Amino acid sequence: MTVRSSSALRPEHPSARSLAALVDKFGLEYTGSVDDVQITGITLSTKNLEPGDLYVGIQGVHSHGASYAVMAREGGAVAILTDAAGAEIAADAGLPVVLVDSPRDALGQISAWVYRTQDDPPLLFGITGTNGKTSAIYLLNGIVKQLGLIAGLSTTAERQIGELTITSSLTTPEATEVHGLLARMRESDVRAVSIEVSAQGLSSRRVDGIVFDVVGFLNLSHDHLDDYADMQEYFEAKLSLFQPDRAQRGVVSLDSEWGERVVDSARIPITTISSRPDTPADWMLTILDEQPEWTEFALTGPGGRSLTTRVPLMGRHMAANAGLAIAMLVEAGFPLEAIGHALDSDGGIVAYLPGRIERVSGENGPAVYVDFGHSPDAFLTTLAAIRKFTAGKLIMLFGADGDRDPSKRLEMGRIGAEGSDILVITDYNPRYEDAASIRATLLEGARGAAHPAELLEIAQPRYAIRAAIARAGEGDSILWAGPGHEDYMEVEGVKVPYSARDEARQALREAGWA
């Protein structure tokens, strides 16, 4: 698999579109001459700009994107799309300027037009939820490939087009990047695309111009209240995915109380799924067997149709994610029998989920896992999954994001302390916040646990993981929650290269564990 550094994927052989046709199509005002101007791409960033691009200037937190119009021209941009304020700023760039009231609101539809992504689109799947989005997308993508289709995905971890992979910077990329990615996928004959859709992505209109064939809802729990006033506003952002302008059909998990609310408020046909015996749904998932390497489950749907398969991960929640993915494929028109046959042929679902309960240790010594989950509910489910297969001590290591929802930190500390025997509080992406203050809040939550673990505070993660390993032996487990697949730590605006996976492996070697 080819891996590239984080950048925007777009068509290798773009088809030019007339700027005059753009202004005519959308009825837009402009300054300068649009005659004979051809655009081959669209971008918000001068970093991703290519010759022939339409550069979009949006008002940011600190400055207006139109301030970079001259730089965009020097990079090969042939025109500017911006608002009235931006048009004044960009006047000296010497490029035609197309005017819209709100560039953000117009971006999705215009990007779709530039890249022609509404012409013969692939099957489009979108999944939202507080926890499990990335895992469910990888599982859905894996099954699609087992069915023999060329597949593509976009997640928090990476973007994939067949065998090509690049790392991600946003859970849901900007609309310009989403449509460029879809156009590149069309060039590669991708027939099914799975996209992780965040609440922020919906609120920022990053998936505008897309109508998904099937969307899925996993759950809703405390997170992102730095971006939303309360849980109701957060829920409404997610709910917007289940409207006719965004999707044709939906599959909703009833495993959280918010699932029923989605069913009640959605304006598209909805199919339900549940892994709880006391919560009836169209699809019922039953856990049959659990092992550290896999979880076996049965999925029974309308008319008594069923299949039995395995997901290559521990945890009931991972089986529930897989069940939702299968139900979405059935809603898209794939026969359950064909899915079952493909999975049986391979001994279950074949998928690799980077940084999701990912074991980084060898056969001897403590089992060490890294996981990307960094919310109270994610801690709860992951700790429960690992505890089931831990004969000895369960040690947890985590920190909290700086400049992100601080209201969840006390609960993170409490759940971490109640679910582990030894809890090590360390730093994790402090950004511009005081790292010591973040740790103090997590420790306060941990000390409020009903059955608190032994507590350690070690600021530097490289020392924290070594302290955890020094306290562990055969039969013990260590969960390093938060960094997962990430390859950096952000401190005061600087992304310093750092991998929890590599650090944990090195610490194990130093401790004498192969």
Q: Find, among 358, 393, 387, the residue nearest to 473 by Cα.
A: 393
Per-residue pLDDT reduced to its tens digit, 417-472 = 999 999 999 999 999 999 999 999 999 999 999 988 999 999 999 999 999 999 99
Name the DSSP letter for residue 40.
-
**CATH no. for residue 108?**
3.40.1390.10
The residues facing 124 across adjacent strands are 193
Name the DSSP letter for residue 34.
-
The DSSP-derived string for 273-308 is EES-TTS--SEEEEEEEE-SS-EEEEEE-GGG-EEE
Residue 97 within any structural domain of the chain? yes
Token pair listed for 176: 């310009």
Helix (H) or strand (E) holding 238: helix 231-239
Whether 447 and 481 share a structural domain: yes
Cβ atoms of 89 and 69 within 8 Å: the answer is yes
Name the DSSP letter for residue 439.
H
Helix (H) or strand (E) holding 27: none
Residue 176 within any structural domain of the chain? no
Strands 422-425 and 367-371: unpaired
Burial 24-44 (b: 16+ CB within 10 A, else e): eeeebebebebeebebbbbbb
Residue 171 within any structural domain of the chain? no
Cα 7 to Cα 2: distance, rounded to the nearest angstrom: 14
Whether 128 and 261 share a structural domain: yes
pLDDT of the residue at 5: 44
Domain boundary among 316, 346, 376: 346
Residue 168 within any structural domain of the chain? no
Whether 337 and 363 share a structural domain: no
Name the DSSP letter for residue 9.
-
Residue 81 within any structural domain of the chain? yes
The residues facing 496 across adjacent strands are 489
Q: What share of the chain is helix, strand, coil (3-state, %, to 5)?
A: 35, 25, 40
Whether 81 and 145 share a structural domain: no
Domain boundary among 115, 136, 168: 115
Domain enclosing residue 108, as ranges: 2-115
Residue 173 within any structural domain of the chain? no
Token pair listed for 165: 């992979």
**CATH no. for residue 435?**
3.90.190.20
- CA 159 to chain CA centroid, Å, is 10
Q: What predicted TM-score, i.e. pTM, was given to this entire model? A: 0.92
Residue 177 within any structural domain of the chain? no
Strands 79-82 and 53-57: parallel
Whether 286 and 323 share a structural domain: yes
For the chain, how far is it from start to end, CA to CA, in angstroms? 26
Count of Cβ atoms closer than 10 Å to residue 401 Cβ: 19
- Any residues with CB less than 8 A from the CB of 88 and at least 6 apart, and which? none
Residue 162 within any structural domain of the chain? no
Whether 223 and 269 share a structural domain: yes
Q: How far is CA 458 from CA 129, 425, 455, in A?
A: 32, 6, 10
Residue 329: what are its φ and ψ, rounded to 5°?
A: -65, -40
- Give the angle subtended at the CA of 93 by the CAs of 87 and 99, to the nearest 5°: 25
Where do we find the tokens 């790292």? Answer: 435
- What does the pLDDT profile of the chain (514 residues) look like in tens digits? 444 444 578 999 999 999 999 999 999 999 999 999 999 999 999 999 999 999 999 999 889 999 999 999 999 999 999 999 999 999 999 999 999 999 999 999 999 999 999 999 999 999 999 999 999 999 999 999 999 999 999 998 899 998 898 887 666 789 999 999 999 999 999 999 999 999 999 999 999 999 999 999 999 987 767 788 899 999 999 999 999 999 999 999 999 999 999 999 999 999 999 999 999 999 999 999 999 999 999 999 999 999 999 999 999 999 999 999 999 999 999 999 999 999 999 999 999 999 999 999 999 999 999 999 889 999 999 999 999 999 999 999 999 999 998 999 999 999 999 999 999 999 999 999 999 999 999 999 999 999 889 999 999 999 999 999 999 999 999 999 999 988 889 988 898 999 999 999 999 999 999 8
Cβ atoms of 389 and 415 within 8 Å: the answer is no
**CATH no. for residue 263?**
3.40.1190.10
Whether 404 and 445 share a structural domain: yes
CA-based max dimension of the chain: 73
Cα 37 to Cα 41: distance, rounded to the nearest angstrom: 12
Q: Find, among 419, 392, 395, 404, the residue nearest to 478 by Cα.
A: 395
Cβ atoms of 481 and 397 within 8 Å: the answer is yes
Whether 139 and 111 share a structural domain: no
Token pair listed for 199: 């609440």
Structural domain count, the chain: 3
pLDDT of the residue at 224: 64
Whether 362 and 497 share a structural domain: yes
Whether 292 and 441 share a structural domain: no
Whether 307 and 364 share a structural domain: no
Whether 369 and 478 share a structural domain: yes
pLDDT of the residue at 466: 98
Helix (H) or strand (E) holding 205: none
Domain boundary among 73, 96, 115: 115
